[in-house]
Amino acid sequence: MPRIAASLLLLTAGLSPLLAADEPIVVSTDHPRLFLRPQRLRLLRRERERQSMRWQQFEALVGGNAPMTEPGFALALYYEVSSDQSAGRKAIAWALSPSASDLRQLALVYDWCQPLLSDMEKRSLAARVLKGITDPPADDSISTERSRALAAVALFDEVPQGPQHELERLAYTWWRNKIARVAQSGRNPVPREDAYPLMELLHAFQDNANVDLRETARGYFKDFPIDHLMSYYPAPFQGAENDFYVGAMRRPADPDLRLATLSRAADLAMVAYDVNGPESQVIQGWLMHDRYLMRGAFGTPYEFLWANPYQPGLSYYNVPLVFYNSDLGRLYARSSWEDNAEWFGMFDGVMQRFADGHPTALNPQGALDPIDLHEAVICFARAAAGGRPIRLKLEDEEPVFVVGLEPHKLYSIEVDDEEMFEAAADPGGILELDDVPSGREIAVRIAEAAAQTR
């Protein structure tokens, strides 16, 4: 009994208050609250003193009066790090202008430029930010709710009750229903393009209220960094200022460099959120190549804010080349970590192959030949229709996946010279075949099982 009690104590000691009863969410931090907690602000100011290449790029853009894509965010950040009041005044002027409507940037300017705000400016800007969280949300997207969370944190303890109620709604209603329960049901709650707003939301709660929202779906969020890493297409895209890795898109098209910028920013913010996690250290190893350092007017503020070149990383070459999540029905496989690698992805009902420098959409029901990536073999259910065998010859022991099956359906599998067994396809219609013999040609037969169980 003492051992059991001690084990339970260890398991519960690090749990977020979110897992207990719905306790009040309280923000007790001083301005600046959002992202620029004392440790990170010290790091950024040291980067300025050392004239790091990220600071020099940021300084060149702001000092040269380059048009910034997000002026409130960029100029307020520059002010906080450099104490350049002219930059802070420009950020405030933007936030108080009639055209400024981005709640996220309004919250950042309010939080980061506190010392420069006159009483009248503070009241006016606070009213704008408050309106953003008292008006009904335009939608329940991660991006929208992220902005409302930043606004609530920025205003907390300066406007009675409203911000606290908003944070509690976000944590105890929206997050549980939109994120945690969706993940637990076997569906993906975070589209790839929402990874960055998700990280800002997580930082806002963890940094200011000591609430780790990930605790409500631990399995999903433990895999999240590697899922994000494996979903990059192998070949880099050469942008005007720097190269980008491009994340898998539902519909293959020309790369969206705005999404590529935010995808790298999400990676950087993941590392900052959990610096000691092995997954984060792998992502850090992926990030620290100068050719991908963002140098454009949109990406530079994110690069400077989140990057920590002094954080040790692990080589991503140690990451397995096959990532399979049977809970969500997601599969990624690469032939190698080189830029010319072949890649296969099945995610969110989409199937793609990347080869010869571009992605191609595949039909999950197509009668395609197996794809051998040397680290995994992908077989297609349509090829096994009507009891026809799938013929394979594996050079080495490697996993075999059958895709295009009906989700959750039970199947009978027969491999030459092996005993027949039954297994159910996952939520994405994927079935992994273990211990398929190598070194000789074999046939695999797949058919719906006679008795179906969930």
Reported in sequence order, the residue ranges of 7-58 that DSSP labels E, i.e. its strands, are none
Lowest-confidence segment of 121-125, 183-187, 394-398 by average pLDDT? 394-398
Reported as a single tens digit per residue, the pLDDT across 97-117 is: 999 999 999 999 999 999 999
Reported as a single tens digit per residue, the pLDDT across 300-346 is: 999 999 999 999 899 999 999 999 999 999 999 999 999 999 999 99
Is 431 in contact with 405 (CB distance < 8 Å)?
A: yes
Strand, helix or coil at 236? coil
Amino acid sitting at position 88 = G
pLDDT for 381 equals 86
Nearest to 32 by CA among 89, 2, 62, 73: 73
Per-residue pLDDT band for 12 (boundaries 50, 70, 90) equals very low
CA distances from 117 to 95, 157, 241, 245 (A): 11, 17, 35, 40
Is 212 in contact with 206 (CB distance < 8 Å)?
A: yes
397-413: average pLDDT: 91
Percent of the chain at pLDDT exceeding 70: 93
- Mean model confidence pLDDT for the chain: 91
CA 416 to chain CA mean position, Å: 42
Say how many residues make up the chain.
454
Reported as a single tens digit per residue, the pLDDT across 224-242 is: 999 999 999 999 999 999 9
Token pair 């190698």 in the structure block, residue: 336
Position 426 pLDDT exceeds 80? yes
Percent of the chain at pLDDT exceeding 90: 76
pLDDT for 451 equals 65
430-442: average pLDDT: 86
pLDDT for 452 equals 59
The neighbour count for residue 57, using CB atoms within 10 Å, is 21
pLDDT for 1 equals 35
Reported as a single tens digit per residue, the pLDDT across 147-162 is: 999 999 999 988 878 9
Reported as a single tens digit per residue, the pLDDT across 200-217 is: 999 999 999 999 999 999
Task: List alpha helices for 350-401, DSSP H.
Answer: none
CA 330 – CA 326 distance, rounded (Å): 7
Q: Domain spans of the chain?
A: 231-319, 321-448
Per-residue pLDDT band for 254 (boundaries 50, 70, 90) equals confident
pLDDT for 420 equals 87
Per-residue pLDDT band for 14 (boundaries 50, 70, 90) equals very low
pLDDT for 386 equals 64
Strand, helix or coil at 415? strand
Per-residue pLDDT band for 450 (boundaries 50, 70, 90) equals confident
